[in-house]
């Protein structure tokens, strides 16, 4: 069981040039969640929903991991049995940094999935239609492998399993609007939070260390803290 959980959100990829969701200028200012990220959108608004995720996929093709992704990859490699990386992010910055064993809670942009038989394909950065619209196994319409609001999030139970053994929880770059940070912190003996600024959805008074600065800056101190904790 990993003693340290690193839990990340969109903020860790902000310095790679990937939009967050709720910061000023974030994706949910430009798009309405109910149009393209709610259960049912693929039935009522398939074209625009698919187009949105096609654009997101194309957008990350040339984006590169930043110092925070690379440092997290390095510390995970150093302590493979003691650290588990869990992310809400659907981008592939950790994969591009070389991480192989991370939990994507909300899906993965590069993948499409068949809602009927569960077939999954990594289509890279292409449009869904350029791959194929129908499942090669059962011919159902494929969809982005992303968890929409109001849909089950099957990886949440894995998250709770990993958190059960957690002693140090490091949270980086999430506003806490989707996953309740207080609930996460209840699992851990010690907690560290790094965001650019305070979030209305996070009560930081019970968090042991709070770093309001860029992840690329905070990460060196965080890595030192993890090392100290594990040694």
Do 97 and 70 meet the contact criterion of CB atoms below 8 Å apart? yes
62 counts as catalytic: no
In angstroms, what is the minimal distance from the CB of 89 to ligand OAD? Answer: 6
Identify the CA nearest to 113 among candidates 141, 74, 76, 148. 141
**Cα distances (angstroms) measured from residue 173 to each of 43, 105, 109, 122, 192:** 32, 15, 19, 26, 11
134 vs 149, beta carbon nearer ligand OAD: 149
76 vs 90, beta carbon nearer ligand OAD: 90
Identify the CA nearest to 6 among candidates 98, 127, 105, 123. 105
Cα 111 to Cα 57: distance, rounded to the nearest angstrom: 9
In angstroms, what is the minimal distance from the CB of 20 to ligand OAD? Answer: 3
Binding site for ligand OAD (CB under 6 A): 9-11, 14-15, 20-23, 26, 88, 90, 106, 146-147, 173-175, 177-178, 194-197, 199, 214-215
Name every residue whose Cβ is closer than 8 Å to that of residue 95 and which is 6 or more positions away in sequence.
Answer: none
76 vs 146, beta carbon nearer ligand OAD: 146
- Find the catalytic residue in 67, 69, 104, 106: 106
In angstroms, what is the minimal distance from the CB of 10 to ligand OAD? Answer: 4
Enumerate the active-site residues: 106
């Amino acid at each position: 069981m990993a003693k340290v959980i690193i839990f990340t959100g969109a903020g860790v990829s902000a310095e790679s040039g990937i939009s967050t969701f709720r910061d000023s200028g974030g994706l949910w200012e430009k798009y309405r969640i109910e149009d393209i990220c709610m259960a049912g959108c693929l039935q009522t608004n398939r074209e625009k929903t698919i187009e949105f995720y096609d654009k997101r996929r194309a957008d990350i093709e040339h984006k590169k991991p930043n110092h925070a992704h690379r440092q997290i990859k390095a510390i995970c490699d150093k302590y493979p049995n003691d650290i588990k990386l869990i992310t809400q992010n659907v981008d592939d910055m950790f994969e591009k940094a070389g991480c192989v064993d991370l939990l994507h809670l909300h899906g993965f942009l590069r993948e499409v999935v068949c809602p009927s038989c569960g077939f999954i394909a990594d289509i890279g950065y292409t449009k869904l239609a350029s791959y194929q619209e129908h499942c090669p196994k059962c011919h159902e319409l494929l969809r982005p492998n992303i968890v929409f609001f109001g849909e089950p999030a099957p990886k949440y139970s894995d998250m709770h399993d990993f958190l059960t053994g957690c002693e140090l929880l490091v949270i980086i770059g999430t506003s806490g609007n989707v996953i309740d940070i207080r609930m996460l912190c209840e699992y851990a003996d010690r907690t560290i939070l790094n965001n650019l600024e305070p979030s209305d959805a996070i009560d930081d008074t019970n968090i042991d260390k709070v770093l309001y600065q860029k992840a690329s800056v905070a990460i060196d101190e965080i890595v030192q803290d993890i090392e100290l904790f594990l040694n």
